[in-house]
A and B are shown apart, each in its own frame.
Chain A
Amino acid sequence: MFDIERWQEIFETLRKNKLRTFLTGLSVASGIFILVILLGFSKGIENGVTSQFQRDATNMITVWTNRTTKEYKGLNPGRYVQLKNGDFDMVSTKYKDYLEYESSLHGMWGVTMTYGNQTGSYRIRGVMPDHQFIENADILKGRFLNQADLDEAKKVAVIGNKMKRDLFKDEDAIDKNILMYGMNFKVIGVFSDPGGDREEDQAYIPISTSQKVFNIGDNIRNMLFTVEMSDNFSDAVTLSQNISTEIESQIKQMHTVAPDDTGAVRVYNTLEEAKKIYKLIDTIKAVFWFVGIGTIIAGIVGVGNIMLIIVKERTKEIGIRKALGALPWSIIGMIIQEAVFVTMFSGLFGLISGLALLEAVGPQVESDFIKYPQVDFNIAITTVFILVFAGALAGFIPAYRAAKIKPIEALRDE
């Protein structure tokens, strides 16, 4: 393998047969190149879809209510089911062991807020401290609401990044007061949300404050929970489904709603949706792998085919070399070493150019569904070696046969 004379002989052969070398190299390089791009974009789609989905926690259960649509126990349909703090406390206590984060919510749309001479209309939501985690919000500056804010119904607000940009421009927002409904709210934090501007165009205040300010007593609009994730995904889905169902029937019972009234009390379980998305991602992955493996097989067949032709074309040369005293194994070794060198070199070339393209184009891709296309380097390098191995094997069989035939027969071959 490290015989310099052998390498000189091989390089000379390759140099003198430029077209053949080029074609072999091209088929290997393009195979690997296509595979890298395919796997890269498959990963990109996976990243894109996953991040689309990560706007909120994936294991979230949301409860909201509406008017009843069915007559039940003598009560007329069309009655509004109003959730109260008590409902939230009940669920919270009862399922304490299974719930991770919890928050009740009361929101208002189109609230006019003013800072200095900047004014805008925003959504305002009364929530609990855990809400940060349910929304997957990140604190950019300051802090989120805490239990003390809630207990004392403080007039504090955590504002979205977009809202901060609109009202405060470049100014620091922390500890400044914004005006809403004639009351001053102190900004204690600025958050960003994976959901983007749409989710950052709002302010969070403690729900207790919200109930006072809007004078709604102990009414709440929604209840949000996240379920403790177990390691097993399908277990988590089952648990989350069971809890959803139980919460739904519990609330219906408390508010005297018909058990089959699907409109009045709704419980939405994102984990079930997540399951669908993950299934979709798995399907996409499977399709890309299928195409990728098909490409590799085509590459292997291509390399094998070229090796067959090369050996066939060189039968006479092999005869001449044997007549001049070449050992059979030196001929086999030479052909394989040549094949391995060409496939390895061009395979790595395809790999590197594929990675370079992903690296160059990846950040330019401005699509919500394709993000950071990248490829697992180990997978890519493994495929290169599979191709090299296939090339060597495909070269070995005809080389072995050619080296076995008598030189006189090889010489007769025209």
Chain B
Amino acid sequence: MIEIKNIHKSYHMGSNSLHVLKGINFNVKEGELVSIMGSSGSGKSTLLNILGMLDEADSGEYVLDGFPIQNLNEKIAAKYRNEFLGFIFQSFNLINYKSALDNVALPLYYQGIKRKERIDKARHYLEKVGLGPWSNHLPSELSGGQKQRVAIARALASDPKVLLADEPTGALDTATSYEVMELIQGINDEGKTILVVTHEHDIANMTKRIVNLKDGVIIDDSLVEQVRASQYV
């Protein structure tokens, strides 16, 4: 599903140059649930942003489901993001003046789907994450865990090939974190490919494979025995 070869990325700040990714190679097959671990500054978020086409690599190859991702113009990048990827952020990134339902429906708006169909689909995904009764609430009226569930429903709404989650539990307490991970595991069980960036070991252990990043290179990439989150909930 995802193939990346020798990805390099540097940030330039004034005269200083920071080499963040120093040749990353890894592949993700369909249906995998992968966590990317590393201390802050290891380049894990940068890698995720490149995978998410939110940022561009300086060099290297990236192929997503057979589509080479390189030299994208804004238009194509937007189309790919919309069709191939679903994002889950640490800070949720919901639009604060839109109801939960409208937030979930937004990616469908950019797919050009008619309003009625959008709302139906959005309601379906909102129910899937267990927030059916909250569909008309604004994000400010929801708890952190609920907000993240809305974000997950939004990421699922466009039926993407890959879900990218950047510290999805970073802003949540442990109990809520496990609830969110249970949801993510459930989605993975249905066959969706998911990448999770985290620095928490318990969260990483709930995935099927852990990729360890340090100073811009992969130091360890191993399959793990998945811990089911449901046993903590």
A residues whose Cβ falls under 8 Å from a Cβ of B = 5, 8-9, 12-13, 16-17, 316-317, 319-328, 330, 406-408, 411
The contact of B109 among A5, A17, A328, A411, by CB within 8 Å, is A5
Chain A CB within 10 A, most for which of B54, B83, B87, B112: B54
Interface presence of B55 (CB below 8 A): yes
Q: Contact mask B63-96 → A, CB, 8 Å, 1/0? A: 0000000000011001101110001010001110
Residues of B within 8 A of A12 (CB): 98, 102
The contact of B89 among A8, A16, A326, A411, by CB within 8 Å, is A411
B residues whose Cβ falls under 8 Å from a Cβ of A = 49, 52, 54-55, 74-75, 78-79, 81-83, 87, 89, 93-95, 97-98, 102, 106-107, 109-112, 114-115, 154, 158
Q: Are B81 and A323 in contact (CB under 8 A)?
A: yes
Query: Please, how many angstroms separate the alpha-carbon atoms of A317 and B139 in the complex?
Result: 14
The contact of A324 among B55, B74, B102, B107, by CB within 8 Å, is B107
Residues of A within 8 A of B55 (CB): 406, 408
Q: With A407-B54, A408-B54 as known contacts, state yes or no: A326 contacts B95, CB within 8 Å.
A: no
Q: Are A323 and B49 in contact (CB under 8 A)?
A: no
Q: Are A324 and B54 in contact (CB under 8 A)?
A: no
Residues of B within 8 A of A411 (CB): 54, 89, 93
Q: Are A325 and B110 in contact (CB under 8 A)?
A: yes
Q: With A320-B93, A320-B95, A411-B93 as known contacts, state yes or no: A325 contacts B102, CB within 8 Å.
A: no
A185 to chain B, nearest CB (A): 85
Query: Please, how many angstroms separate the alpha-carbon atoms of A408 and B164 in the complex?
Result: 14
Query: Please, how many angstroms separate the alpha-carbon atoms of A407 and B112 in the complex?
Result: 21
Name which residue of chain A comes closest to B164, CB basis: A323
Residues of B within 8 A of A325 (CB): 78-79, 81-83, 107, 110-111, 158
A-B contact pairs, 9 of them (CB 8 A): A320-B93, A320-B95, A321-B95, A323-B93, A324-B154, A325-B111, A325-B158, A328-B74, A406-B54
* Given pairs A324-B81, A406-B54, 15 additional interface contacts (CB within 8 A): A5-B112, A5-B115, A320-B93, A320-B94, A322-B81, A323-B81, A323-B93, A324-B82, A324-B158, A325-B82, A325-B110, A327-B78, A328-B78, A406-B55, A408-B55
A4 to chain B, nearest CB (A): 9
Name which residue of chain A comes closest to B110, CB basis: A325
List the 7 closest A-B pairs by CB distance, nearest first.
Answer: A325-B82, A16-B97, A408-B54, A325-B110, A324-B107, A327-B78, A320-B93
Residues of B within 8 A of A328 (CB): 74-75, 78
Query: Please, how many angstroms separate the alpha-carbon atoms of A325 and B155 in the complex?
Result: 11
B112 to chain A, nearest CB (A): 8
Residues of A within 8 A of B81 (CB): 322-325
Residues of A within 8 A of B95 (CB): 317, 320-321
Name which residue of chain B comes closest to A328, CB basis: B74
Q: Are B97 and A17 in contact (CB under 8 A)?
A: yes
Query: Please, how many angstroms separate the alpha-carbon atoms of A9 and B95 in the complex?
Result: 13
Query: Please, how many angstroms separate the alpha-carbon atoms of A8 and B113 in the complex?
Result: 13
Residues of B within 8 A of A319 (CB): 93
Q: With A12-B102, A17-B97, A411-B93 as known contacts, state yes or no: A327 contacts B109, CB within 8 Å.
A: no
Residues of B within 8 A of A323 (CB): 52, 54, 81, 87, 93
Query: Please, how many angstroms separate the alpha-carbon atoms of A322 and B107 in the complex?
Result: 10
Query: Please, how many angstroms separate the alpha-carbon atoms of A322 and B49 in the complex?
Result: 13
B72 to chain A, nearest CB (A): 12
B217 to chain A, nearest CB (A): 22
Query: Please, how many angstroms separate the alpha-carbon atoms of A18 and B93 in the complex?
Result: 22
